[in-house]
Chain A
Amino acid sequence: MPLPLHELATSDTISPIVRLTENGLDIVVADDSRSRSKTSLIPERALLPGEQYRFHFDMTKCIGCRSCEVACNEQNGNPANLRWRRIGEIEGGAWPDTSRHYLSMGCNHCLSADCLRGCPVDAYKKDPVTGIVLHSAEACIGCQYCVWNCPYSVPQFNPERGVVGKCDMCHGRLTAGLEPACVNSCPENAIEIEIVDQLEWRSDYAAANAPGMPNAGHTISTTRITLPANSDVTLERVDIETLRAEHPHWSLVWMTSLIQLSAGTLAAGLLSGQTDPIALTIILLLTAFTLNVSILHLGRPAYAWRALKMWRRSWLSREVLLFGLFFVSLTVLTVVAWCAAIYVSHSILAAQRTLQYITPLVGVAGILASARIYLVPARPAWNTQHTPADFLLSSAVLGCAATPILNQITLFFHQRSLFNLPSNACEFHEITVWPLIATTGLWMMNHIVRAIGLHRSEVYERRASASLLNTHGLRGTFLVAFAFAGLAVLMALACQPLFALLAAFAAIVTSRYLFFVSVVPLNMALTFVRQVHA
């Protein structure tokens, strides 16, 4: 069913304006010229099936006055650090033949919206009538995966609310026959709402591309941009030297590192024959702790369970599901191991053996799903095979470093006979340091190759990530991560397994921190001078 936009646009219900007069307040009706000018910037006919609304931005008209940005924030009551519509600058040429133009962009209401695809809770909806990409603050749990997925950095997390928000083309105004706040405020009429045929646009969306905008092909942006005719000047973004460290997402730094420790330790332990229930219990407790840490990343931790909802579509849901299964499987394995330790039966042993294969596999699958989350085109520095490699190698390093300690703890319990168990606990093989050395070497190699790859990349955002890693603040951190890794090996060689584990963990956490802060997301060009929010 089409919106009543067409009817409202033509038979405009003229809004009354209250004025102060001598006698107090009178309601007077605005004149015709006003209602005409009011509706000329939104479509005058209803949408047909297969059509949607879109923004048209005329770069030749925009004077960069930023009224649209202010109007947007006033319309939506947003604080200063959140801007659903943003202005960017692009510049080129040499004085006096210099050109500078502006971009004014809200959401592009893409045909193939990545925000929507990634959302684990189905908070996004591409409105079947208008094509507007709508976001529900109610449904949102604040996981911010959409923020990572959008190539225009359109969805923005509001820490005060714990949820994300974005431009909805002033859906509430459009349905009442009013143009969006940005369109309404522009003194040059540079922004308007148009109708686009979705099928046609999918086959030719060239007009969505502009200097300073990420390639529209990522998600098929619907915003049409009119470019200046004098194309002999190459317009470039002016903000590319503004390198800002991204949010570190500490809970994710800890969560990914700890879950890799859990899964890695379980896998390494089982490979080395460690099936002791005490060891499994320790890993289980660690996993439970980790899963609790992970929900602190969410803006709305109480609704973490909703993240399972979109497992058929979202890698974030799949990660949650697989780590959930890992936890369940590990719990059962631990219970079975305790049973087996107390009462040996054939069926219990069979179950234990099966679970000993299944649980680490689920764990590794979870780690791969976890890595898959970061393989998004909108974050080019993450979107490489180095990410899953790093996650797996981190697991391996931590597993190799943790196993000797785990064995010592288990041994400790048995020697003190704290639990009256048959002492099969000491039957595991002697652990050597070679796996740790090998995995650490590979882990380092992966990081070095990644850094070189970023540095040499054709993609601006990857090079910018490399530059960020090479800034005064982060370069040292990068070296510290490597120093910790080296220290872990030295400690292992010096038969100090506890210190080896701590050093290895420190290396992983440090490098994971860098992973988060050094990513430069795809974004539209922004302004040169601006407040840089972390």
Chain B
Amino acid sequence: MSDISIVQRVKRFVGIDTQAEKYAYAQDPAYGFISESRVAERWIKTTCGYCSVGCGMLVGVRDNKAVAVRGNPDHPVNAGKLCPKGLSEHHILDAPGRARQPLLRKEGVLTPVSWDEALDTMVSRIRDIQGRYGNESLGVVGTGQLLTEECYTLGKLVQLGFRTRNNDGNTTLCMASAVSGYKLSFGSDGPPGSYADMQSADVILLVGANIADNHPILCHRVDRTSPGTKPRTLIVVDPRVTKTAMMSDIHLAIKPRSDIALLNGIAHVLIREGLIDHEYIRQHTTGFEEYAEFVSTFTPACVASITGLTEERLIEVALLYGRARAAFIGWTMGVNHSTQGSVTVAAINNLALITGNIGRTGAAPFSITGQCNAMGTRESGFTASLPGYRKFDSLADRTDLARIWNIDVERIPASRGLAYPDIIEAAVQGRIKALWFVATNPAVSFPNYKLLEHALRSVEFLVVQDGFHPTPTSEFAHLVLPAAIWGEKEGTFTNSERRISKVNPVVSPPGEARSDFDIFLAIAKRLGVKEGLYPGWNTTHDAFLEWQRVSAGRMCDYSRFTWKQIEDENGLQWGGASLYRDGVFATDDGRARIHCVPCDPFTEQPDVNFEFILNTGRTVEHWHTRTKTAQVDLLNDMVPNAWLEMNPADANRLSLKPHDRVTVRSRRGAVSDLELRITGIVAPGQVFMPFHFSETNSNIVTLGAFDPISREPNFKQCAVSIERTPRSNRRSVAARR
């Protein structure tokens, strides 16, 4: 300790020094009076890296440090506003938890190594494993956090470089069911509407979408009271009285997983009352006759008994929807996180199709996506489909791609490999021997943790490439590759409404961290496929140029916009404001399919031992597995721990009090030390907990049941019991009663 610091300490102790400099204010040239610590030298335009709303922002930089964030007032998505995560996003860039150097496990200990050693080891180990067990013994799980350019590059590297089809993304945990549902109904992925449709619709129906917590910057789109807004009806379907449900005009607090019955019941009333668009059905759809027959059994009485709503309520909502000139249906994880997610999406699409509420302003069945670039991975990814919404099983699509890539068509697989949950299961079975996770944290986000842990411990080689270390997943790794994150890379993100936005670097990555793109190219070089797959590539812009050629003429056509146009226009939507304006769909005959969707009970029903239905979800302060937001002091201070919501009736019965520490137990495991919140927000017999917290990992109890079509997990319902946590199992004894 130097003398100066002692002097300063003494000065501080007696109060002569109040750190006035640190807390001084100054004039920011662009934004006026503000804390001196937030005054920037320059502002760089970019797009938020958290959720898929895709807000435009400006990041203030001083001395190669991001010091402030502002909403971009000219951006059409957010008009200058940001949520609390976006407003504090600059803090993640120099967070202490960033991964700064490659780490290789040597004698059981993660040891710093050079990039050369790290990547040489990675390629030789994977080659060795593939040599022994076959190419498909490598499984790769990517992410919706990557740039579109990076995701495109990764797809080629895995499928054409490593020659394994077992490539999927963490997006399968999130919006795979929306993709599958769109494909079922319209023949292709692609959300047909735009955010602005919410403002011009007469009826907005949100199903299992808590936008106030998860997409807060969309909430002003459903504002019905401010001057200049259109009077319209907001209907929210959610078993829980979410923040969004409280904003609604009508809240349908249905029983868990009775959404299909509700949707079929609405269709039943619409058909009965003649509130359907016969002309649209005749011209643009197939399957209506069977559907009409099928939903005839979903009478209001029958649906009321399944959903727990009254018949009057059901009919009221159906009439509102049917009589709307333009009706918008939005959904998120309440629909997708289900073993019936894909078909639920199809059931939603059915409503839009039979009423002609698609391809028009204000009318769309609209999946509000999760991650900042989930859409980009859907379009450019080489996972569930070929890049550019191409199909594995279409020879024409494969030939097309082989031509663009200048490779033999036989190199392009004719069917998709394993989906994310099947990769994990294959690892447990010993069919997958090497795993590579890119910017995802399955140890917190994947259901049924015990099985996942088994998989992570079973593989011979586990690579975790992430911007942060340690994470609960990187602790299992044999090799940790430190990656650059949002704010350190250049490329594009595509948001829920198909808006391609530019992402710009504001600072350089910490320590030795490199961009994911650089890492992919360096691996390609070692594999000897660099020039074959990425001829002359140096930057993500090279990837973008090729992606433009790959997507040209496809539905998701990026060839019409340059990076500069995208940046100058604050994002551009491929496909315009609505898809399917001409009523021509991406099916063989151009007609949309109307499917008959049965309503089955969810997989694990409560019983005498596990009497509660556990619902999981999010809170506005945190993002996903908290690798980022736990590093932002203010956000973590606001909500430092998970909680469990329980209805007062149940709490009374179990003699539990607010703030009691409780344990949630399912057939698969138990999570202890949750703070109990007794509230009328959840229904009797149901409990809710947020999944963000690795310390109280909800996925220790969740069920490993997956949608047969999309392979998306059923995170939302499983059977649990609740008991008071014994004092010995508590992490901390807070000064609370």
Contact = CB atoms under 8 A, between A and B. Distances in A.
Interface stretch (A88-96, A338-346, A361-369, A429-437): A88-96
Interface stretch (A106-114, A257-265, A294-302, A419-427): A294-302
B429 interface: no
Interface stretch (B364-372, B416-424, B608-616, B640-648): B640-648
B226 A189 contact: yes
B219 A63 contact: yes
Contacts of B84: 65-67, 69-70
Contacts of B277: none
A153 B14 CA distance: 26
Given A70-B84, A242-B736, A300-B15, A529 B675 contact: yes
Interface centre among B69, B74, B647, B684, by most A CB within 10 Å?
Answer: B74
B633 A80 contact: yes
Interface in A225-239: 238
A530 B639 contact: yes
B139 to A, nearest CB: 37
Interface residues of B, number: 86
A187 B216 contact: yes
Contacts of A217: none
Interface residues of A, number: 85
A77 B12 CA distance: 19
Nearest to B570: A19
A75 B244 CA distance: 28
Contact of A242 (B638, B639, B659): B659
Contacts of B82: 67, 185, 187
A330 interface: no
Nearest to A527: B638
B80 interface: yes
Given A63-B212, A77-B22, A529-B639, A300 B736 contact: no
A188 B222 CA distance: 10
Contacts of A142: 15
Contacts of A79: 633
Interface of A: 15-22, 25, 30-31, 34, 37, 60-61, 63-67, 69-71, 73-77, 79-81, 91-96, 98-101, 137-138, 141-142, 158, 160-163, 165, 170, 172-173, 175-176, 178, 181, 185-189, 238, 241-245, 298-303, 467, 471, 473, 527-532, 534
Given A67-B82, A529-B643, A187 B219 contact: yes
- Closest A-B pairs by Cβ, 6 of them: A300-B15, A77-B35, A172-B33, A96-B253, A80-B633, A98-B680
Interface of B: 12-16, 18-20, 22-23, 25, 29-38, 42-45, 58, 68-69, 73-74, 78-84, 87-88, 212, 216-217, 219-220, 223, 225-226, 241, 243, 246-247, 251, 253, 504, 564, 567-568, 620-621, 633-641, 643, 647-648, 657-659, 675, 677, 679-684, 734-737
Given A67-B87, A77-B38, A241-B658, A96 B621 contact: no
B32 A96 contact: no
Given A34-B80, A189-B226, 9 more contacts: A17-B43, A34-B74, A37-B79, A37-B80, A64-B212, A74-B38, A95-B253, A300-B14, A529-B677
A532 B734 contact: yes
Given A80-B634, A471-B737, A238 B679 contact: yes
B637 A96 contact: no
Given A66-B638, A95-B253, A241-B658, A188 B220 contact: yes
Contacts of B80: 34, 37
B217 A187 contact: yes
B334 to A, nearest CB: 15
A187 B35 contact: no
B15 A65 contact: no
A98 B33 contact: no
Contact of B638 (A69, A238, A532): A69
B43 A18 contact: yes
B18 A80 contact: no
A70 B89 CA distance: 11
B471 to A, nearest CB: 22
B683 A95 contact: yes
5 contacts: A67-B87, A162-B15, A241-B659, A244-B735, A300-B14
Interface centre among B35, B58, B680, by most A CB within 10 Å?
Answer: B680
A17 B640 CA distance: 35
B630 to A, nearest CB: 12
Contact of A60 (B225, B567, B641): B225
A137 B45 contact: no
A187 B81 contact: yes
B679 A91 contact: yes
B640 A162 contact: no
A75 B216 contact: no
A152 B29 CA distance: 35
